[in-house]
Amino acid sequence: MNTLEAILCRRSYRGAYLPDPVPREHLQAILEAGLAAPSGCNKQTTCLIAVDDPGVLRHLLDAIDPPVAATAPAAICVLSRPVNAYRDRCFAVQDYAAAIENMLLAITALGYHSCWYEGHITDEDRICDRMARILNVPDALKLVCLLPVGRAAETPVAPKKQPFEARAWYNRFPDAGDSGHIVY
């Protein structure tokens, strides 16, 4: 699958997973794709933990309430180290977002499915802190995302997307009644 195919067929999958294990070499390729993402001023603020040990994975997924990805055979936890990259600017959110998208595309290209779980675990109940303790994450790093990895037990459904013309344009945002001519 080429890059554009992976981008266009990637779906967020929230269903059940088949019990097939994810080989370590596939997890390694997914992690490498995440670490290859750009980072602000090359601060490399994103770290990753792949979880494929069934006992650790069960303990990790049991910490999430309401439950998600309960049948996933593997998961990747995304960690962020918020540091200033340029003057007083921190790009850690952009850094881990780029890493997550790279991994989601690698997951798709390898024939697996996933979903970006962030808000669910980082809300006020701080499920992420319980997950971080299970994984022995040091205080300097914040667990910000869970990506389950596995083969879908059901066919993922493509979401309804707005038409291209409703969200993308050339050269400028169109005016109401736009004639297509640029006025300076």
Instruction: Indicate the average pLDDT of the chain.
Output: 94
Which CATH number goes with the domain that contains 42? 3.40.109.10
Strands 89-90 and 46-51: unpaired
The percent of residues in the chain predicted with pLDDT above 70, rounded, is: 96
C-alpha 43/C-alpha 21 separation (Å) is: 33
Whether the predicted model's global pTM rises above the 0.85 cut: yes
**pLDDT given at position 1:** 84
3-state secondary structure of 48: strand
What is the domain count for the chain?
Answer: 1
Residue 179 within any structural domain of the chain: no
Q: Which residues contact 118 (CB under 8 A, 6 or more apart)?
A: 144, 145, 146
Residue 20 within any structural domain of the chain: yes
Residue 14 within any structural domain of the chain: yes
**Following DSSP, what letter does each residue of 104-142 receive, concatenated?**
HHHHHHTT-BB--B-HHHHSTT-HHHHHHHHTT--TTSE
Residue 171 within any structural domain of the chain: no
**pLDDT given at position 95:** 96
- Domain enclosing residue 110, as ranges: 3-156
* pLDDT confidence band for 175 (50 / 70 / 90): confident
181 pLDDT above the threshold of 80: no
Residue-wise pLDDT for 2-19, tens only, equals: 999 999 999 999 999 999
Residue-wise pLDDT for 113-122, tens only, equals: 999 999 989 9
Residue-wise pLDDT for 38-83, tens only, equals: 999 999 999 999 999 999 999 999 999 999 999 999 999 999 999 9
* pLDDT confidence band for 179 (50 / 70 / 90): low
Residue 183 within any structural domain of the chain: no
Residue 139 within any structural domain of the chain: yes
Residue 175 within any structural domain of the chain: no
Residue 90 within any structural domain of the chain: yes
